[in-house]
C-alpha cells in the first residue's frame, strides 16, 4: 500500500485531501498550471508505507512547462536540471565520492522510501507561489503530524527557513537542518552539510536499509 492509499483510509487526512482536490480542480481551470493534475499527489503514490524513511520538504512545484512531475526538487528526464537540484547532486557527489548522471528525475529516491513533498501542490506558469493556498498548507501540516505520530525513526531534511517552519510539528522524528540548496543560499550551510551521509548513518543505527542516493 502506498501513502496515498493510506491517507484515503484516514478520516481527517481524507477530508483535507478532498479539499485539496477541489482546489486543484479550481486552479486547473486556468491555463498552464503545473504539474498536471494527475501528478499532484505523485509523491505520495510513489512511496510505499513499508518503505518510508526520509521526508524532504519543498515549497511549490517548478513553474516552467515540462518541469514539475509531482516530486519536490525533481524534473522529468531530459529536462534541464534546475540550479537547486544541481547543488543537491553536488552534495551527494561530495558525500559519497560518486558522479551523478545528468538526469533530474528523482523517482529512484521515492521508490526507496524518500517522500519528496511540496507544501503547495500546484503553480501557475512563471508565477512562483501563485497557488500558496491555505488548504494545501493545512493538508501538509496534517500529513506531517500523521507521519511523525505513526512512523518510527523518520528523518526530515529541512532546507531553508520555509521548510524549517514545520519543525514545531515534529515530536518523534529526527531532523537535519541547513540552508536551502538554491544558488542564493547554498553557501550559507547547505554546501558541506553532509545530510545524505548523515541520513544513511542514522538509518544504519536504526537497522534500516540505507538510501542509495546516486542515480
Q: Domain for residue 213, yes or no? A: no
Q: What is the pLDDT of residues 84-141, one digit of tens each?
A: 999 999 999 999 999 999 999 999 999 999 999 999 999 999 999 999 999 999 999 9
* Active site amino acids: 60
The residue count of the chain comes to: 215
Q: What is the pLDDT of residues 53-87, one digit of tens each?
A: 999 999 999 999 999 999 999 999 999 999 999 99
Total count of domains within the chain: 1
Q: Domain for residue 214, yes or no? A: no
CATH number, domain at 131? 3.40.470.10
Q: Domain for residue 210, yes or no? A: no
Burial class (CB in 10 A: 0-12, 13-18, 19+), 199: buried
Give 35's pLDDT tier (boundaries 50, 70, 90). Answer: very high
Q: Domain for residue 88, yes or no? A: yes
Give the domain extent around 93. 3-205
- 3-state SS assignment for residue 80: coil
Q: What are the Cα distances from residue 197, in Å, to 95, 133, 182?
A: 6, 34, 20
Amino acid at each position: 500500500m502506498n501513502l496515498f492509499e493510506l491517507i484515503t483510509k484516514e478520516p481527517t487526512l481524507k477530508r483535507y485531501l478532498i479539499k485539496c482536490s477541489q482546489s486543484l480542480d479550481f486552479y486547473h481551470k486556468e491555463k498552464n498550471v503545473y504539474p498536471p493534475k494527475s501528478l499532484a499527489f505523485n509523491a505520495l503514490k510513489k512511496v510505499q508505507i513499508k518503505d518510508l524513511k526520509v521526508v524532504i520538504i519543498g515549497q511549490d512545484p517548478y513553474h516552467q512547462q515540462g518541469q514539475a512531475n509531482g516530486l519536490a526538487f525533481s524534473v522529468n528526464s531530459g529536462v534541464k536540471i534546475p540550479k537547486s537540484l544541481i547543488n543537491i547532486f553536488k552534495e551527494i557527489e561530495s558525500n559519497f565520492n560518486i558522479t551523478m548522471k545528468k538526469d533530474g528525475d528523482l523517482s529512484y529516491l521515492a521508490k526507496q522510501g524518500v517522500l519528496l513533498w511540496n507544501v503547495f501542490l500546484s503553480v501557475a506558469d512563471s508565477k512562483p507561489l501563485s497557488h500558496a493556498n491555505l488548504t494545501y498548507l493545512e493538508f501538509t501540516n496534517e500529513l506531517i503530524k500523521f507521519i511523525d505520530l505513526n512512523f518510527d525513526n523518520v528523518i526530515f531534511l529541512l532546507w531553508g527557513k520555509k521548510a524549517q517552519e514545520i519543525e514545531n510539528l515534529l515530536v518523534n522524528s529526527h531532523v537535519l537542518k541547513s540552508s536551502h540548496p538554491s544558488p542564493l543560499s547554498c553557501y550559507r550551510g547547505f554546501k558541506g552539510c553532509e545530510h545524505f551521509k548523515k541520513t544513511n548513518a542514522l538509518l544504519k543505527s536504526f537497522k534500516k536499509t540505507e538510501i542509495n542516493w546516486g542515480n
